[in-house]
Chains A and B, each alone.
Chain A
Amino acid sequence: MTDKLLEVKDLKKHFPIHRGIVFRREVGAVKAVDGISFDVLKGETLGLVGESGCGKSTTGRLILRLIEPTSGSVRFGGTDLLPLKDRDMRPMRRRMQIVFQNPYGSLDPRMMVGDSIAEPLRVHKLMDGKQIQQRVKELLERVGMSPTYANRYPHEFSGGQRQRIGIARALAINPEFIVADEPVSALDVSVQAQVLNLLADLQDEFKLTYLFIAHNLATVQHISDRVAVMYLGKMVELASSDRLYAEPKHPYTQALLSAAPIADPTQRKRDRMLLQGDLPSPVNPPSGCRFHTRCPLVNEVSNNLCKTEDPPLGDLGGGHLVACHLHKVAPASHLLATVPRA
């Protein structure tokens, strides 16, 4: 059995909504992440997919405590991160890094890229000046760029190159775990493949564990061992990448897969499942199963169960988890540590 690197249990983030200037009071909350649990095994890539507003980026940031969770627990390498004081959190941060979506916004335009890459080394006081310079050169070479670029500014680089710089910065302190939040979605198609291949190579070389957050299903399937699907702050399905795409069980996963355009004109006539309506607001999510307002199979379940009761995440066997009343399964209380690697 592979070791768990990260265990997330019942993680919640409710962003409060305030009204009033003098008498500021809380009038509600955006339930961005509302009780999700999953594990990430050492050396694997867990993909997190969902539409905008489903809470996938928030989840990534909660794990690193870039946003403070409302409740729940995040255990990294056996240590619960949430009660840690800033001083105790810092050594943990050395082991976990993030690559951001927007390569234009995530590099300081007034810092030379060499300094940006060196910053984590300086913050963690890992090396002296000479060593840092050497390390920056190594890192630039490793991500496929010339070491002489260290003295240039971000505006001199294209999106793909900036994303490589972002990756070099994340690698600087030899982390074990990297949250990649939509790392290729801002890039041109021909450059996306370069960055995806780079991420895969680095994973092999440095035994990295990834949480790969994206909305593009094909990209996530390509890079991930297992994939988790989120909808309105909840996890609706989790399975090995192959299995999720071959046998999706949750109606939302099915709809998501069926809606994704396929780059093959001969498959145009396939049957498709079109969802009606828009994503409901996470301020006031639907009762029961959050997907019931758009679910095409909502009438298949008797007693209006979908509208009244929130389905628990259940285990279909083989580590395939689904939260849907259509699938009567044992609750997955122990959670997914037994999933075979894809």
Chain B
Amino acid sequence: MAEPLLKVSGLQTHFFTEEGVVKAVDGVDFEVHRGQVLGIVGESGCGKSVTTLSILRLVAAPQGRTVGGQILFKGQDLLKLPEAQMRGIRGNRIALISQDPLTSLNPVLTVGEQIMEAIILHQHVDRRTARKKAIAALEAVGIPSAASRIDEYPHQFSGGMRQRVVIAMALSCEPELLIADEPTTALDVTIQAQILALMDDIRRQREAAIILITHDLGVVAEMCDYVAVMYAGKVVEYSDVATIFANPKHPYTRGLLKSIPQLGEKKSRLVPIEGQPPSLALLPPGCAFAPRCTEYTRKCSQQMPLLEQIDTNHMVRCWVTAGQQDTPAPAGATR
């Protein structure tokens, strides 16, 4: 396979707080290729948003610091770039679509001003050209009469339309990588379907890569090519979307899939994952999922398993599945 657009390996972002070190991201590995959608799934507090902030180098200093790992964007380590160069990448070649369109737009500026700001900054064009580009961007995301609505304020748009504005802003500089952090969580289901269809078009037409962060396994199944499942700051399973749903290996992934009600099939009882997600400041030694795991062995609470390759494009961080392998594949193993 060709060189990935983005390759994250061994990423660690810790927050140094008064209560101790919170290891929000502590071992994240994945790749994203052009024209593909990578889904990052996990529950609140698993570190999925901090992962994206780390990629964009937006983690709030001084408490938060990326203390280890590599983020290779077209072969270049973003963690080693000087801030001035990073600024040329952020919003230009890697763009972020945030979760809540209401708070990510400035209420006292027209949407046009906000889209043009990025275009003028990155593309060094005059206001007239920037305005044309902004109108084109709004049209591309399906906002009717874009030429007049460009002068309106965010509060004059509905939730779905606001999210389109945020997407238009992200697309205005034609980024190669789009990071969408729960882009449809705040939206209704019929509007969610519209926004997902739009993002799928963008991926197809512009060959952009998308990292889609979500907790909704339905959205993952609809949109993603590859999936990274995160738990307590670590990627616990990574594979193509068909394998994740048909042949999940990590007990957490299996538990998640079993615990959701599926439309159209009536199960008498759901099978929940017992217990609560752990606090990141007080992680147990060994595997963080061990206290909730149904396949727990003694080794699990002693030592953290590595993310090991068990098949082409299928990696799992678990002692139990690793134990099933006759010959562990250390070549593919990462920390």
B270 touches A196 (CB 8 A): yes
The 3 closest A-B pairs by CB, nearest first: A261-B218, A193-B272, A222-B261
Whether a CB of chain A sits under 8 angstroms from the CB of B5 is no
B266 touches A263 (CB 8 A): no
Give 14 CB contacts A-B under 8 Å. Answer: A190-B259, A191-B273, A218-B261, A246-B264, A255-B190, A257-B263, A259-B193, A261-B196, A261-B222, A262-B262, A262-B264, A263-B257, A267-B221, A276-B194
Residues 233-275 of A at the B interface (beta carbon under 8 Å): 241-242, 245-246, 255-268, 272, 274-275
Whether a CB of chain B sits under 8 angstroms from the CB of A329 is no
A218 touches B255 (CB 8 A): no
Give the distance in Å from the alpha carbon of A153 to the alpha carbon of B215 in the complex: 28
Chain A interface mostly helix, strand, loop or mixed? helix
The interface residues of chain A lying within 8 Å CB-to-CB of B241 are 265
A160 touches B276 (CB 8 A): yes
B258–chain A nearest beta-carbon distance, Å: 8
A98–chain B nearest beta-carbon distance, Å: 22
B276 touches A222 (CB 8 A): no
A286–chain B nearest beta-carbon distance, Å: 15
A264 touches B245 (CB 8 A): yes
B259 touches A192 (CB 8 A): yes
Give the distance in Å from the alpha carbon of A245 to the alpha carbon of B261 in the complex: 13
The interface residues of chain B lying within 8 Å CB-to-CB of A267 are 221
Residues 199-245 of A at the B interface (beta carbon under 8 Å): 200, 215, 217-219, 221-222, 241-242, 245
Give the distance in Å from the alpha carbon of A12 to the alpha carbon of B261 in the complex: 33
B261 touches A259 (CB 8 A): no
Q: Given A189-B260, A190-B255, A218-B260: A259 and B274 within 8 A (CB)?
A: no
B218-236 interface bits toward A, Cβ cutoff 8 Å, 1 = contact, 0 = none: 1111100000000000000
B192–chain A nearest beta-carbon distance, Å: 7
Whether a CB of chain B sits under 8 angstroms from the CB of A338 is no
Give the distance in Å from the alpha carbon of A235 to the alpha carbon of B158 in the complex: 23
Residues 34-69 of A at the B interface (beta carbon under 8 Å): 51-52
Contact of B190 among A193, A219, A265, A275 (CB under 8 A): A275
Whether a CB of chain B sits under 8 angstroms from the CB of A197 is yes
A190 touches B272 (CB 8 A): yes
The interface residues of chain A lying within 8 Å CB-to-CB of B272 are 190-194, 197
Contact of A279 among B188, B215, B220, B245 (CB under 8 A): B188
Give the distance in Å from the alpha carbon of A148 to the alpha carbon of B214 in the complex: 36
The interface residues of chain B lying within 8 Å CB-to-CB of A128 are none
4 more contacts with CB within 8 A, not counting A261-B193, A262-B221, are: A189-B215, A219-B261, A259-B189, A275-B193
A70–chain B nearest beta-carbon distance, Å: 25
Give the distance in Å from the alpha carbon of A196 to the alpha carbon of B44 in the complex: 19
A259 touches B263 (CB 8 A): no
Give the distance in Å from the alpha carbon of A261 to the alpha carbon of B242 in the complex: 15
A278 touches B277 (CB 8 A): no
Give the distance in Å from the alpha carbon of A278 to the alpha carbon of B143 in the complex: 12
B273 touches A190 (CB 8 A): yes
B263 touches A245 (CB 8 A): yes
Whether a CB of chain A sits under 8 angstroms from the CB of B147 is no
The interface residues of chain B lying within 8 Å CB-to-CB of A272 are 193
Whether a CB of chain A sits under 8 angstroms from the CB of B161 is yes
Whether a CB of chain B sits under 8 angstroms from the CB of A151 is no
Whether a CB of chain B sits under 8 angstroms from the CB of A161 is yes
B293–chain A nearest beta-carbon distance, Å: 12
Contact of A190 among B161, B197, B218, B277 (CB under 8 A): B277
A194 touches B188 (CB 8 A): no
List the B residue with the shortest CB-CB distance to A255. B190
The interface residues of chain A lying within 8 Å CB-to-CB of B277 are 158, 188, 190
Residues 106-143 of A at the B interface (beta carbon under 8 Å): none
Give the distance in Å from the alpha carbon of A261 to the alpha carbon of B273 in the complex: 22
